[in-house]
Amino acid sequence: MQVKIIDHPLIQHKLTLIRDIKTGPKEFRELLEEVAMLMAYELTRNLPLEETEIETPVAKCCCKVLSGKKLGVVPILRAGLGMVNGVLRLIPAAKVGHVGVYRDPETLKPVEYYCKLPTDVAEREFIVIDPMLATGGSSAATIDMLKRKGAKHIKLMCLVAAPEGVHYINEQHPDVEVYTAAVDDHLNDHGYIVPGLGDAGDRIFGTK
Ligand code: PRP
Ligand code: URA
C-alpha cells in the first residue's frame, strides 16, 4: 500500500477531536481547516526553491523564493470545501478548481455533476482534497477528470482513508501520491470508514 501518513502530534490530536461524535459543526469546521493547513505544510515540503536578490533594511542579500510549477487546489464537493481555506492560508497564490462528485448511496459509485478548473491545467501541480477516502471512487473519478483536462502532476490529500480506498487509488492512478492523517480499519456494509468520523459533508454543514 503506497500512502504517506502524516503523523505530526498536532494533527493526530486534532483528528481525535474531529472524530468525536460530541464535536459539533462549528468546532468540526475549525479543526478541519487547521488540520488541512498543517497537512499542506507537510505536502509542500519538497517544493523547489530559487534564489532572488532583495534588500533588507540593513543590506542586500540572496534569499530563497518558491520556483517551479504553479499550484492548483481541487476540493471535491461538498466535503472538500472544508479543507480549502486551510490550504489557501499557506498557499494563497494557488488557484482553486472545483469538482462535484457524490457517491450514490446504493451502488457507492461516483456520480459526477460539476467541473470548473483553472485554464492552465497542464502547467499546474494539483492537490486534490477531500477529508474521506472510502472506496476511492470519488477521488479516482476526480483525478480522471483532471487528467482528461490535461493535468500531469497530481497529489491526493485526505484526512481519513480506508485501506480499500488507498489500494484503489494506487491501482487506478499509480502516479498519484496519497497523503492522509490516518488509515483506518475497514469499510462497513454501507461504505463508511470504520471507525472513521461519520459523514464528513453532513458534519461540516450540519445537514442530515
Ligand atoms: C463523501 C466524501 C468523499 C466520498 C468518499 O462524499 O466527502 O467525497 O464520500 O467516498 P468514496 O471514496 O467511497 O467515493 P459524499 O458522496 O457523501 O458527498 P458530499 O461531500 O456531498 O456529502
Ligand atoms: N464518506 C464519508 O463522508 N464518510 C465515510 O465514512 C465514507 C464516505
Query: For residue range 126-151, what is the model confidence (pLDDT) as tens digits?
Result: 999 999 999 999 999 999 999 999 99
The separation between CA 55 and the C-alpha centre of its own chain, rounded to angstroms, equals 37
Q: What range defines the domain where residue 53 resides?
A: 3-205
Annotated binding-site residues for uracil read 193, 198-200
pLDDT at 208: 83
The CATH code of the domain that includes 15 is 3.40.50.2020
Q: Which H or E element spans position 37?
A: helix 25-43
Query: For residue range 4-16, what is the model confidence (pLDDT) as tens digits?
Result: 999 999 999 999 9
Q: Among 208, 206, 205, which Cα is nearest to 78's?
A: 205
**What integer best gives the mean pLDDT of the chain?**
97
Ligand 1: residue whose CA is nearest its atom 10: 134
Query: For residue range 29-85, what is the model confidence (pLDDT) as tens digits?
Result: 999 999 999 999 999 999 999 999 999 999 999 999 999 779 999 999 999 999 999
**Which is the closest atom of ligand 1 to the Cα of 207?**
22
pLDDT at 18: 98
Q: Is 164 in the pocket of ligand 2 (CB under 6 A)?
A: no
Number of domains in the chain: 1
- CA–CA gap between residue 180 and residue 202 (Å, rounded): 20
Q: How confident is the model at residue 178 (pLDDT cuts 50, 70, 90)?
A: very high
